[in-house]
Amino acid sequence: MTLRNKLILLFSFLAILTLSSFALILYWNSAKNREIEFFEVLEKEAKTKADLYFIEKVNPNTLSAIYKSNRATIHEVEVAIYTPPFTLIYHDAVEIDVVKETPEMLEQALKNGIYHFYQEDWQVIAMPYIHEEETYIITAAAYDGSGYAHLQNQKRTSLWLIFGFSGFVFIIASIFAVYSLRPLKKMTETIDKIQVDDLNKRIPLKKYEDEIAKLARIFNNLLNRLQNSFQAQKEVVAHISHEFRTPLTALLMEIEIAEEQFKEEAIQEVLSSIKSDALKMKTLFESLMDLAKSQYDQSQITFSRFRIDDLLIVCKEKTEKLYSNAHIRLHYKKLPENVDTYSYKGNPHLMQQAFMNLLENAYKYSKDKTCTISIDKDANHTIIISFEDNGIGIAANEQEKIFQAFYQNKDNAKGKGYGIGLALSQQIIHLHKGTIQVASTLGKGTVFTLNLPEF
Ligand code: ADP
């Protein structure tokens, strides 16, 4: 889930939770108040009716008639009067009698002064009433129709409010998240454009510094340091390249001159050994320089269009010339339909180096010195090249490591190289936005497959 969506959801959830909690507390408070107030109303009603009955001596039939006539229009309080322990002396409407009083109920009222309870939705009280030193018990019951209607109304309004507010909050949260994350989005877009070969870009800084501006400033400082260190690396490589190449070339020339001059067998042997070491040093040095350059100097690499199958033929011939016992076969999985079938835009010199490394490895690590190159093109115009040998193979746990610079299998690679070839080949293929994969079985052979998409 994106940070923007997380913020929208969190913000909306918190706002809706707060509002719902308030609405719930208010509803609970109203319900409690309604209950208390209605019990008070019942008490007053019960007392008034008892006063009318005992003090004003109103005729019980009249009281009952008033009750029955009111009952048709409002939720009238139903009153009954008892003498302890349980003798009914007055009832508003015995035939209706919603509340069924019990002797225990009356006893509770006598003991505690007043007794409250619910019978379904009806609220009921029982309380003692003293008249001319005689104690009576009055019960009053009624349904708080208007109170419940009011509560219901409050519930409906709260729900609509929460529902409407949720939509509103969601819109506000979306605007808020987009607005807050805008600087971060701009920052990621800029960072995305920064490449190793173009470290000049910087994130624009704001006048005032908030957390994101601080992050941008720290990132810009990091880029400054990186740029300086890449610059230093470039200079070191250029410097070393110049300082080493000249004396190494001179050394090789001097050995050749010495070979011409000194024909004695012993001297020739020493010179040949020195020459072989010097050549090895030259190869290692050039590979190292290539690897270093390919890592930082991508802008220096020029891309041109060439036929990749032609380049493979050149590599095949070169390898066969270099190693007279090498057998290399080039196999077209898809025959070229025209000159453009295997036309490819890349750097032919670097590609040649990558292919040569793979061919040399097939030669070095196999007994039959045979390598089959297959070339194909898929529907997406990706050129697929594989180098297959019948050599010693690579163990499964080693297959990931072989692309690391300086990695060599200690048992079989002794004196056969420096562990740079595959790292360099991979780097070159990645520069061309391609991939290199290995599939191998110990004792049977190895296949390196290159996928080179059109770009
Ligand atoms: P090296 O110069 O040692 O050949 P590479 O980077 O070219 O360095 O190869 C790294 C390691 O991968 C080698 O030491 C070898 O063990 C293994 N390797 C590479 N290619 C093959 C192959 N075709 N068959 C078997 N092992 C291979």
Q: How far apart are the CA of 361 and the centre of ligand 1, in A?
A: 6
DSSP letter (8 states) at residue 349: H
The token pair at 58 is 């109103």
Please report the atom of ligand 1 found closest to the CA of residue 409.
16
Instruction: Tell me the chain's radius of gyration from C-alpha atoms.
Output: 48
Q: How far apart are the CA of 159 and the centre of ligand 1, in A?
A: 72
The H or E element containing residue 447 is: strand 445-452
Report CA-CA distances (Å) from 1 to 4, 6, 110, 233, 282: 8, 7, 66, 40, 53
Task: Tell me the residue type at 195.
Answer: Q
Average pLDDT score over residue span 164-179: 92
DSSP letter (8 states) at residue 119: E
Distance of alpha carbon 125 from alpha carbon 325, whole angstroms: 114
> What is the pTM (predicted TM-score) of this model?
0.53
Distance of alpha carbon 365 from alpha carbon 363, whole angstroms: 6
Q: Give the pLDDT of residue 381.
A: 92
Q: How far apart are the CA of 14 and the centre of ligand 1, in A?
A: 59
> Residue of the nearest CA to atom 20 in ligand 1?
361
Average pLDDT score over residue span 130-157: 92
Please report the atom of ligand 1 found closest to the CA of residue 405.
6
> Residue of the nearest CA to atom 21 in ligand 1?
361
Angle at 142 between CA 140 and CA 147, to 5 degrees: 135
* Torsion sign across C-alpha atoms 420, 421, 425, 426: negative
Pocket test residue of 365, 388, 448 for ligand 1, highest count of atoms within 8 A of CB: 365
> Residue of the nearest CA to atom 2 in ligand 1?
417
Q: How far apart are the CA of 91 and the centre of ligand 1, in A?
A: 108
Distance of alpha carbon 196 from alpha carbon 18, whole angstroms: 49
Report CA-CA distances (Å) from 153 to 46, 120, 156, 160: 29, 21, 5, 11
Distance of alpha carbon 99 from alpha carbon 77, whole angstroms: 11
Q: How far apart are the CA of 303 and the centre of ligand 1, in A?
A: 28
Task: Tell me the residue type at 207.
Answer: K
First to last CA, the chain: 31
Please report the atom of ligand 1 found closest to the CA of residue 418.
2
Q: How far apart are the CA of 442 and the centre of ligand 1, in A?
A: 13
Please report the atom of ligand 1 found closest to the CA of residue 407.
10
Half-sphere exposure of 152 (CA within 13 A, CB side): 6
Q: How far apart are the CA of 423 and the centre of ligand 1, in A?
A: 10
Average pLDDT score over residue span 134-160: 93
Contact between residue 110 and residue 118 where contact means Cβ atoms under 8 Å apart = no
Q: How far apart are the CA of 334 and the centre of ligand 1, in A?
A: 29
Which spans in 55-144 are helix H?
60-71, 103-112
3-class secondary-structure state, position 81? strand
Cβ contacts of residue 225 below 8 Å, gap of 6+?
Answer: none
Distance of alpha carbon 295 from alpha carbon 154, whole angstroms: 70
Ligand 1: lining residues by beta carbon, under 6 Å: 357, 361-362, 365, 389, 391-394, 402, 407-409, 412-413, 416-423, 446
The token pair at 258 is 């010495």
pLDDT, tens digit, for every residue of 299-349? 666 788 999 999 999 999 999 999 999 999 999 998 888 888 999 998 888
Which residue in the block uniquely carries the two structure tokens 């509103």? Answer: 168
Q: Give the pLDDT of residue 343.
A: 95
The token pair at 235 is 């200079």
> Residue of the nearest CA to atom 8 in ligand 1?
419
Task: Tell me the residue type at 55.
Answer: I
Q: Give the pLDDT of residue 298.
A: 64
pLDDT, tens digit, for every residue of 81-107? 998 888 899 998 877 777 788 888 888
Mean pLDDT, the chain, whole residue set: 88
pLDDT at 73 over 80: no
Cβ contacts of residue 233 below 8 Å, gap of 6+?
Answer: 292, 296
